[in-house]
Structure 1
């Protein structure tokens, strides 16, 4: 597994990361097969994946990972988050310092660890200045509960502003073949500030792995239904144009479609890590293979719909 430096820190993270949201189960992802999920995490670690990302709002994900990583904590760059709070069926923003402290302590307890390697603001809070939240995270870093600070779902302006308040190691925003245009200004800000970019939604909840031949009948509360808009009616049919190009190139290269989608994200030199979800060991190994897949300029042009063939 290729490793890349996290911002300007002394940490190195795997080019492919494991997203912990699907391990949370509940309304977002449905029942979790604990034994299968344990094999998935173990396979990821054995493949050299060291970045595992989770959050308090991901259901049982933190508690599950806390139990599973016993004895293997030193192998993991654990990424956590703060700032979103479940309120019944709603999710609220809350980056007040007291909430950050409470969420951090609760996460440490569930994860059964003394520190979190990368602690990220999940979303900016419109009611709390970014500066106030970052200064609280800096205090938690000073006392040793977190090693490095990250940001998620932020604009380029927020990336630059944050770098002037405290050292920020990374930005985690959505980036995939279905959303290739979403990151250019943020990429520029990351290069300007020496901040790593971690892509999430790299497979768009699995759609770019080619697993769905027809639109799945998802529960309204399913994360793929409300979070990834590409699963909705006409958007699903539109996405299939990209999925079919991925499948065609994957067959040509004799790799999985998931590996192609991951390799596309990593072909962007600003992307340090492509975060992917997985429910099985086979899926995470297919994702991990994307780190070693080098796509040619013609391959990239084909995937992006800029030429009509996938031959080299």
Structure 2
């Protein structure tokens, strides 16, 4: 069985070592307002625990969650009890999802409240990485709100190990890297406009996490090539990329993804 155990790599200069694939957990907590080609059922606790155990067995140590992912954080707390040292946990701040609607708050008070709530839900005294969940107004968030300054303070206080930005524009990604430890960018077979952010991160020694690496399950190719393999060849072909976050609740897909990532990375 292919695993990623020997392929962990540094996330920029955060001091964190991460598996090249991370497990996205929106499907553990939220099934409305999500853009996937097929409907799905939120897994129960047994299924979720089995999925996490399989991810660990396959060498995945990176887990991605957010307050906007419904009950994801509060479910992960109990599910990860006794395993804190085995996981690098990424969460977010800025976006709240209630009653089927997203709302955004990048103020200092909300940022602190959000991170402290994530700590409680995840049953941990630190979060490895907190990213700003952008609404698309990347430059405005970075230049006119207190979210980054607040995350800097939380890092100094030891409540988070690092912080960064999950944005939607090249300009936002580039600015985010100046003060932040990491940027999360969209980069896949259909969408490569944010590549300059990857190039800049590599030059600065900052971390890059890729979201939508498989185009949220929509990846398609004409020539009969495996779309997952082709996606990973693109993503991991860029030396600035530390890890790709893939949100699957299907154990077979998880095994397939890991096997192909290991192959592409020469593991």
Moved more, 31-40 or 89-98: 31-40
Selected match of 2:225 from 228, 243, 249: 249
Take 2:176 and 2:144, find their aligned partners in 1: how far apart are those partners? Answer: 7
Which residue among 286, 290, 297 is the counterpart of 2:256? 286
Q: 5+ residue gaps in structure 1? A: 209-239, 251-256, 296-312
SS of the counterpart of 2:209?
strand
- TM alignment of 1:225-264, pairs within 5 A: 240=220, 242=221, 244-245=222-223, 248-250=224-226, 257-264=227-234
Equivalent residues of 1:154, 1:171 under 8 A apart: no
Aligned residue-pair number = 252
How far off its partner does 1:169 sit? 2.0
Residue 172 of structure 1, aligned match among 171, 184, 190: 184
The reply on whether 1:20 has 2:32 as its aligned counterpart is no
Unaligned 5+ segments in structure 2 are 35-39
Report the CA distance between 1:127 and its aligned residue: 6.2
After TM superposition, the structure 1 = structure 2 runs for residues 92-131 of structure 1, keeping only pairs within 5 Å, are: 92-123=103-134, 124=138, 126=140, 129=143
CA contact (8 A) 1:260 1:290 kept: no
> Aligned pair 1:91/2:102, yes or no?
yes
How far residue 125 of structure 1 moved from its aligned partner, in angstroms, is 7.8
Aligned match of 2:8: 3
Superposition pairs for residues 154-173 of structure 1, below 5 Å?
A: 154-164=168-178, 166=179, 168-173=180-185
Task: With the length of structure 1 as denominator, give the TM-score of the two structures.
Answer: 0.74
> For 1:211-230, what aligned pairs fall within 5 Å after superposition?
none
Check if 1:32 corresponds to 2:46: no
Partners of 1:192 and 1:12 in 2: CA distance: 19
Greater helix share, 1 or 2? 1
Whether the 8 Å CA contact 1:16–1:274 is kept in 2: the answer is: yes
Secondary structure at the counterpart of residue 38 of structure 1: helix
By how many angstroms is 1:205 displaced?
2.2
Task: Provide the C-alpha distance between the structure 1 equivalents of 2:231 and 2:50, rounded to a whole number of angstroms.
Answer: 23
Corresponding residue number in structure 1 for 2:207: 196
Distance 1:140 1:148 in 2: 9
Q: Give the structure-2-normalised TM-score.
A: 0.85
